[in-house]
A and B are shown apart, each in its own frame.
Chain A
Amino acid sequence: MKKLGVIVNPIAGMGGRVGLKGTDGAKIVKKAVALGAKPVASQKAVDALKELLPYKENFLLITYPHEMGEDEAKKAGFHPKVIGKIISGQTTAEDTIRAAREMSMEGVDLILLVGGDGTMRDAISAVGTMTPLLGVPAGVKLHSACFANTPESAGKVAACFLSEGLPLREAEVMDIDEDAYRQNRLSAKLKGFAKVPYEPTMVQATKEGSTGYELADQKAIARWVFELMEKGRAYVLGPGTTTRAVAEELGIYDSTLLGVDIIRDYKMVAKDVGEERILRTIEGKPATIIVSPIGRQGFVLGRGNQQISPKVVKKVGKDNILVIATPQKLSSTPTLKVDTGDAKLDEVFRGYIKVITGYHQSRMVKII
């Protein structure tokens, strides 16, 4: 029998209504409660779980005590297996991490995680890409690409995954620095990747020559990028799994998943570099930036790859930016965004750009 883990972060999303940018840390939670914030995650968890009710005989629901899933599961009509211990009313990030680890050890097929970016970050710190995760959007910050659009659709995807099986893709886990954000500075960082189920029928893969399987499509993209590469030109490779596939096509297996590398003549010349090092390396030489949209909103520049700064972009030139993305990725982010921190530069990118989506295949996608 399949096993589904359910973790609810009861305080997720509480800061939203009262104008706080998130609820990371006990102090902020107190402040949120003082401002009159009400829990929101609980209802969202119930909404998602209700979608799974028709399949309840076919899987075992494993969850954490009280407000971390037990209450919600029962409210939705399940008789869950409850593991672990918490101090009700005082849950923290530690509880999420412990819950994810214990569920992974129980051998769950999927963890349904009700929360926001912070919750997701905590969960992957425990299970990485070992156990598939799916986010039920309940947090204030939802930059990560591992959340379903609504609690209901999360429930549906989970049901489909458990009953019929769905392919998995690696999706970005992002988080922003809340303190900086409260001072109106947005700095979203790529924190890692989660294995997330997705519905290939949503992508209608075969029509555009996609295989329907992200890894195969990444390889197809990588092959074409490889063919396009010129000798002597520097390639600034942004973070992500699609750009990693490009490095692997070149035989480079130690590229930086969460950072920026530079490749020239099919060899790594600079690894995990910041803005300054990039500028030094490409100085006076032809260069191309290769990036893939990151996160839920599909940021091409400025979120998760801040190393590729406005200065770098200007130096390389707009025409030398290669955007690559699988059809699967584009189906979840049909429009793209840029946020380089330089409003004028962002403006230059607005409108349609050509995104490489397969072998000798591209698609016009709008940057808004």
Chain B
Amino acid sequence: MKYQQARWADDGRLEPLVFELSKAKRIGYTLPPKAPSESNIPNKLIRTELELPELSEPEVVRHYTRLSQMNYGIDSGFYPLGSCTMKYNPKICEELAALETASCIHPYQDEDTVQGALELMYKLERCLAEIAGVARVCLHPSAGAHGEFLGMLLTRAYHRSRGKERNEVIVSDSAHGTNFASAAMAGFDVVVVPSNSRGRVDLEALRKAVSKRTAALMLTNPNTLGLFEDEILEIAKAVHKVGGLLYYDGANLNGILGKTRPGDMGFDIVHFNLHKTFGTPHGGGGPGAGPIGVTRKLERFLPVPTVEYDKKRKRYHLDYRCPQSVGKIKSFYGNFGVLVKAYAYILLMGASGLREVTEAAVLNANYIMRKLQDVDGFEIKFDASGPCKHEVVFSAEPMNKNYGVKAHSVAKRLLDYGIHAPTYYFPPIVPEALMIEPTETETKEELDRFIAAMREIAEEAKSHPDKLLAAPTATAIGRLDEAKASREPILSWKMYRKLAK
């Protein structure tokens, strides 16, 4: 397998920044002398000198084309980033979200002029409620962690309304890092319960952990090991028995669509990642959407406004009358563009299509699991007998032990094969973890290509470990000093210039 990423460089230096390409007085586009709106701006607010790069149009186009060629995304190739559900994002959804009727409306417009947008939100809410088995859904949260935080605020509001101050949230040790953070941000103490030898919540520990102080249990199902929490009904019983709530982290919803519903498992609060399960683009900080669904007993605490439908007048409207609401958590009504894409995706797939999504996603993960299970260097730590759900977690511990090659290097070497790295070193309960989620949108040929790459890498670990330790070499940028990159990020021209001085 041969792969080489584009590498635009001159004199050994990578493509310069657009500011560095700038030449004074070079003009790409001539603006009209004075726009009509400008006359309304007071003179003292108008700047005459602007620090903007000056380039010709082809220079700008080439610059950004080159950068995009040195990038990698789901449109370039396979992207098995576990727990992130990097499925292909249908282009038609993008087109629909870009329609003027969706992209050029303003949240302050009169309700009568945006009936279509309100209808879309109302119907998307109904779809999500049906998929998750809950009563109502709030579309406002603009990211997964934002939704989690709302879930925790709802939890607090619920217990307060019953005259109880509950201060503990229980989180499984295989949970996403954001769960701990969301609970803590909402003012709860975090109690961690360990997983058992089967990679599921240890019921004995959970039963010991729950008490009158328990506000909620946060759980992902299937969990981050790609395993279904098969004792979920017992888990729900243990938490409900003490009066606690069950919170569902929706990161792995792609593993159960149309097969089972969090609401039916006993969850009271359900979180979605529209940018994972429902095919809207993600990565790079958004925009995303992390709606929150609730059962009847929590409905009255949802943020305002809700979208309601007046059957008599056949009219959609925003409703702010909700005295027990936790209030607003975002300006206006959520990331509308993302909501349009997710709604389009759901209509595109239909009920049977969504069920097929899960079937194919689970089948693909199991195919990879079986094909890589016997490879020297990898092993499965929990429940190796299978089947897994939508993702599979391998441990490269044997490879590290026998050949001194860590999961980190396997991930980097995959880049040389033109494949995005899986999630590695997560979940933390698996040493040298490689978390692989193929999703449903890959062909068998693509999966086979990945499997062949993983097998070759396992061979290289034995015969040429240096290749793995030096990887990646076929990418525009080689191995990064990750610690330095996260400790001293240079995120803007201003920061860059300051540092250069």
A→B interface (CB under 8 Å): 54, 201-202, 204, 206-209, 351-354, 357, 360-366
Contacts and interface: CB of A to CB of B under 8 A. Distances in A.
B189 interface: yes
B184 A362 contact: no
B180 to A, nearest CB: 5
A351 B173 CA distance: 18
Q: B184, B425, B427, B428: which has the most chain A beta carbons within 10 Å?
A: B428
Interface in B170-208: 173, 177, 180-181, 184, 188-194, 202, 204-206, 208
Given A204-B425, A208-B180, A351-B204, A361 B189 contact: yes
A209 B184 contact: yes
B209 interface: yes
B180 A352 contact: no
Main secondary structure of the interface of A (DSSP, over half): strand
B204 A360 contact: no
Given A206-B177, A208-B173, A209-B180, A354 B191 contact: yes
B191 A362 contact: yes
Given A209-B180, A209-B184, A364-B209, A352 B191 contact: no
B177 A362 contact: no
B191 A363 contact: yes
Contact of B428 (A204, A351, A354): A204
Interface in B134-190: 173, 177, 180-181, 184, 188-190
Given A204-B426, A208-B177, A209-B180, 11 more contacts: A207-B426, A208-B192, A209-B181, A352-B205, A360-B188, A361-B191, A361-B192, A362-B191, A362-B192, A364-B191, A364-B205
12 contacts: A204-B426, A207-B428, A208-B180, A352-B205, A357-B192, A360-B188, A360-B190, A361-B180, A361-B191, A362-B189, A363-B193, A365-B194
A353 B194 CA distance: 12
B204 A362 contact: no
Nearest to B211: A354
Contact of B425 (A54, A201, A352, A360): A201
Given A209-B184, A352-B208, A361 B190 contact: yes
A204 B188 CA distance: 22
Contacts of A201: 425
Nearest to B206: A364
* Residue among A207, A209, A351 with the highest chain B CB neighbour number at 10 A: A207
A88 B205 CA distance: 54
Nearest to A201: B425
Interface in B51-107: none
A357 B180 CA distance: 13
Contacts of A352: 204-205, 208-209
Contacts of B193: 363-364
A352 B425 CA distance: 27
Contacts of B425: 201, 204
A214 B210 CA distance: 28
A362 B428 CA distance: 17
A202 B173 CA distance: 14
B192 A364 contact: yes
Nearest to B174: A207
A209 B426 contact: no
Contacts of B206: 364
Contact of B208 (A206, A209, A351): A351
A352 B191 CA distance: 12
A353 B205 CA distance: 8
A32 B404 CA distance: 38
Nearest to B429: A204
Nearest to A358: B190
A206 B179 CA distance: 12
A360 B208 CA distance: 18
Contacts of B173: 208, 363
Nearest to B187: A360
A362 B188 CA distance: 11
B59 to A, nearest CB: 41
B205 A366 contact: yes
Contacts of B427: 207
Contact of B177 (A207, A354, A361, A366): A207
B428 A360 contact: no
B165 to A, nearest CB: 14
A234 B177 CA distance: 36
Contacts of A209: 180-181, 184, 190
Contacts of A365: 194
A363 B431 CA distance: 19
A362 B191 CA distance: 5
Residue from A353, A357, A364 whose CB has the most chain B CB atoms within 10 Å: A364
Contacts of B184: 209, 360-361
B409 to A, nearest CB: 13
A354 B204 CA distance: 13
A362 B214 CA distance: 13
Contacts of A363: 173, 191-194
A201 B406 CA distance: 12
Nearest to A360: B189
Contacts of B431: 202
A54 to B, nearest CB: 8
Contacts of A354: 191, 208-209
B6 to A, nearest CB: 32
A132 B312 CA distance: 79
Interface string B417-436: 00000000111100100000
A361 B177 CA distance: 13
A58 to B, nearest CB: 15
B170 to A, nearest CB: 9
Contacts of A364: 191-194, 202, 205-206, 208-209
Nearest to B178: A207
Nearest to B400: A156
A306 B274 CA distance: 56
Contacts of A206: 177
Contacts of B191: 354, 361-364
A310 B484 CA distance: 51
B461 to A, nearest CB: 15
Contacts of B177: 206-208
A207 B190 contact: no
Query: Nearest 7 A-B pairs (CB), nearest first?
Result: A204-B428, A352-B208, A363-B192, A364-B205, A360-B189, A207-B177, A352-B205
A341 B196 CA distance: 30
A204 B431 CA distance: 10
B350 to A, nearest CB: 38
Most B CB contacts (10 A, CB to CB) among A54, A208, A365 go to A208
B189 A207 contact: no
A201 B427 CA distance: 12
A209 B189 CA distance: 12
A52 B173 CA distance: 34
Contacts of B180: 207-209, 361
A54 B469 CA distance: 14
Nearest to A359: B184
A360 B213 CA distance: 13
Nearest to B432: A201
Nearest to B180: A209
A54 B427 CA distance: 30
Contacts of A54: 404
A199 to B, nearest CB: 11
Looking at B173, B190, B204, the one whose CB has the most chain A CB atoms below 10 A away is B190
A206 B483 CA distance: 14
A201 B190 CA distance: 22
A37 B208 CA distance: 47
Contacts of A204: 425-426, 428
